[in-house]
Amino acid sequence: MANICVVDDKALLRESLSETLAREDHEVTTFADPLEALGQIKTNRFDAILSDLKMPRMDGLTLIREVRTAGIDTPIIMMTAFASVSTAVEAMRLGAFDYIQKPFEADALTVLVERALEHARLRCDNEALRTSVDDLGRRRTLIGSGTTLTDLRERLDRVAAGHDTVLIVGESGTGKELAAWHVHRASPRTDRPMLCLNCAALSANLLESELFGHERGAFTGADRMRKGRFELAHRGTLLLDEISEMALPLQAKLLRVLQEGEFERVGSSATRRADVRIIATTNRNLEEWVAHKKFREDLYYRLNVLPVSMPPLRDHPEDIPELVEYFLRDVSVRHGGKRVHVTPKAMKLLTDYAWPGNIRELENICRRGATLCTTDAIEAELIEPWLRPAEPRGNGLAFGQLREGRMLEDLQRQLIERTLAQYGGHRVKTARALGMGVRTLGMKIKQWREEADQTQQLAFATT
């Protein structure tokens, strides 16, 4: 079903077109006044527009020009009893989809409308595919045949069956984005695009533009109109990765879209509508963030309709051999390298390891091993230095090993080390969590590195 706008000053033709298109299950809105129609076209979403050529106050060619100037690319079919080659050429030059001469058969019109609607669908899908980050890596599936992964896939299939918002939570590297793709592919929206947006990667202003789009001249550098993810993902799915990092003012605008399905492009007062299913992911405890006023409570409950919790890799080590085989095969296929395998001793190291970086860390180890091994086997001796110990080694102290007279200093160091490990070595996130400056954190790390013996340095991963 499509929403079609008909503009004609003849009441009998408007009524006839409404009946004809309604029989094809389309919703039809008619206007006798082209100026009134233009106002509604700018504020409402239509899938196709049928317009007469000769009308009082504004002719059809002017209507096309105004619609295209407003940045609206809805297909327009021109209807006229005054057919001429020059008029048809001018209508097409201004952006009309096609041209039909009155009087016309109902069947001819419905075929033309269906062509216009299909053209619009293909164009929207093409634009969405160009915007989407749907590359080979993101189309991977959840790997693992153990009970934990089997139960997870069953839950995702149940979640996918509806249209409600999904909130996927879990530690970094557990496969939250892959779970989102699983939901989309198993959902009724699978034939429509799924677009992804990392909320932590952009400033608040840029994120708003990416979500809702912007008009030409809305801000410095906005040299053309641009559709946002909500428009491009219409009737599809939008993945909001790291939703917890979205600024509070933008959270309020997102809440409105979730509640009303309405939004405005940046720099525009025209309200637009979009039918989009939201899947949000986070590695934060959003309930704690709500308690600390870092995340809107109303948005949290609007997102947390269908919650999914991703298990850390340490909770399903039985899937590690299958994951290792998958990653090594993928390296060989993608880069044309030799096929390698992991020795039993090395595999035991991998299955016994706690994996603080989860599946992403395992993938990195596999790719590194496949690249650096000199034979067709990845030995334990090669990968063991890459696996972080459960407790800091060398000059790092475990809790309880505190030096008299320097207990506060030791405790501070241990807290910073553990927080760094929790955030995968990300200094900005670590400093934010500890309530200290990034520069101060960097100075402390530098001091400890200088104090450490060259052979016993702590492995501080930085980004």
Q: What are the beta bridge partners of residue 213?
A: 227
Encoded tokens for 398: 């475990």
Encoded tokens for 229: 């993810």
Spell out the CATH class of 3-130.
alpha beta
pLDDT, position 195: 92
Q: How does pLDDT run across 60-78, given as a tens digit for each residue?
A: 899 999 998 887 889 999 8
Q: Considering only 121-135, 222-236, 369-383, 417-431, which range has the smallest mean pLDDT?
A: 121-135
Identity of the amino acid at 36: E
Tell me what the mean pLDDT of segment 405-414 comes to.
Answer: 74
Please tell me which of 10-14, 67-71, 90-94, 302-306 the model is most confident about, judged by mean pLDDT: 302-306
pLDDT at 155 over 60: yes
Q: Are 271 and 263 in contact (CB under 8 A)?
A: yes
CA dist 339 and 146 (Å) reads 25
The pLDDT confidence band at residue 8, using thresholds 50, 70 and 90, is very high
CA dist 96 and 114 (Å) reads 15
Residue with tokens 């990416």: 210
The pLDDT confidence band at residue 185, using thresholds 50, 70 and 90, is very high
Three state DSSP letters for the chain: CCEEEEECCCHHHHHHHHHHHHCCCCEEEEECCHHHHHHHHHHCCCCEEEEECCCCCCCHHHHHHHHHHCCCCCCEEEEECCCCHHHHHHHHHHCCCEEEECCCCHHHHHHHHHHHHHHHHHHHHHHHHHHCCCCCHHHCCCCCCCHHHHHHHHHHHHHHCCCCCEEEECCCCCCHHHHHHHHHHCCCCCCCCEEEEECCCCCHHHHHHHHHEECCCCCCCCCCCEECHHHHCCCCEEEEECHHHCCHHHHHHHHHHHHHCEEECECCCCEEECCCEEEEEECCCHHHHHHCCCCCHHHHHHHCCEEEECCCHHHCHHHHHHHHHHHHHHHHHHHCCCCCEECHHHHHHHHHCCCCCHHHHHHHHHHHHHHHCCCCEECHHHHHHHCCCCCCCCCCCCCCCCCCCCHHHHHHHHHHHHHHHHCCCCHHHHHHHHCCCHHHHHHHHHHHHHHCCHHHCCCCCCC
pLDDT, position 399: 44
The pLDDT confidence band at residue 140, using thresholds 50, 70 and 90, is low
Closest CA to 306 of 277, 273, 263: 277
pLDDT at 452 over 90: no
pLDDT at 400 over 80: no
Q: Are strands 98-101 and 48-52 parallel, antiparallel or unpaired?
A: unpaired
Q: How does pLDDT run across 350-398, given as a tens digit for each residue?
A: 999 989 899 999 999 999 999 888 888 999 999 998 887 644 433 444 4
Tell me what the mean pLDDT of segment 76-85 comes to.
Answer: 77
Question: What is the third-level CATH fold of 313-386?
Answer: Helicase, Ruva Protein; domain 3 (1.10.8)
CA dist 424 and 116 (Å) reads 50
pLDDT at 453 over 60: no
Do 313-386 and 407-456 show the same overall fold? no
pLDDT, position 38: 92
CA distances 324 to 39, 145, 150, 319, 394, Å, are: 58, 13, 18, 9, 30
Q: How does pLDDT run across 313-339, given as a tens digit for each residue?
A: 999 999 999 999 999 988 887 766 678
Q: Considering only 176-185, 203-212, 246-255, 408-417, which range has the smallest mean pLDDT?
A: 408-417
Closest CA to 458 of 430, 420, 423: 420
Identity of the amino acid at 25: D
The pLDDT confidence band at residue 57, using thresholds 50, 70 and 90, is confident
pLDDT > 70: percent of the chain: 88
CA dist 86 and 424 (Å) reads 66
**What is the sign of the dihedral through the CA atoms of 285, 289, 295 and 298?**
positive
CA distances 327 to 176, 318, 417, Å, are: 18, 16, 29
Longest dimension (CA), the chain: 98
Tell me what the mean pLDDT of segment 403-414 comes to.
Answer: 72
Which CATH number is associated with domain 137-309? 3.40.50.300
Q: What is the mean pLDDT of the chain?
A: 84
Q: Are strands 76-80 and 48-52 parallel, antiparallel or unpaired?
A: parallel
Task: Lay out the sheet containing 3-7: strands in order across.
Answer: 27-31, 3-7, 48-52, 76-80, 98-101
Tell me what the mean pLDDT of segment 407-424 comes to.
Answer: 77
pLDDT at 91 over 80: yes
The pLDDT confidence band at residue 2, using thresholds 50, 70 and 90, is confident
pLDDT, position 135: 40
CA dist 202 and 207 (Å) reads 6
Q: Considering only 55-69, 120-134, 215-229, which range has the smallest mean pLDDT?
A: 120-134
pLDDT, position 395: 42
pLDDT, position 392: 41
Rg (CA), the chain: 29
Greater pLDDT, 424 or 153: 153
Identity of the amino acid at 85: V
pLDDT, position 336: 67
User: Under 8 Å CB-to-CB from 409, ≥6 apart: which residues?
Assistant: none
pLDDT > 90: percent of the chain: 47
pLDDT at 241 over 50: yes
pLDDT, position 84: 65
The pLDDT confidence band at residue 130, using thresholds 50, 70 and 90, is low
Tell me what the mean pLDDT of segment 128-139 comes to.
Answer: 47
**Vertex 242, ends 238 and 247: CA angle to 5°?**
95
Q: Any idea where the domains of the chain sit in the sequence? A: 3-130, 137-309, 313-386, 407-456
What's domain 407-456's architecture? Orthogonal Bundle (1.10)
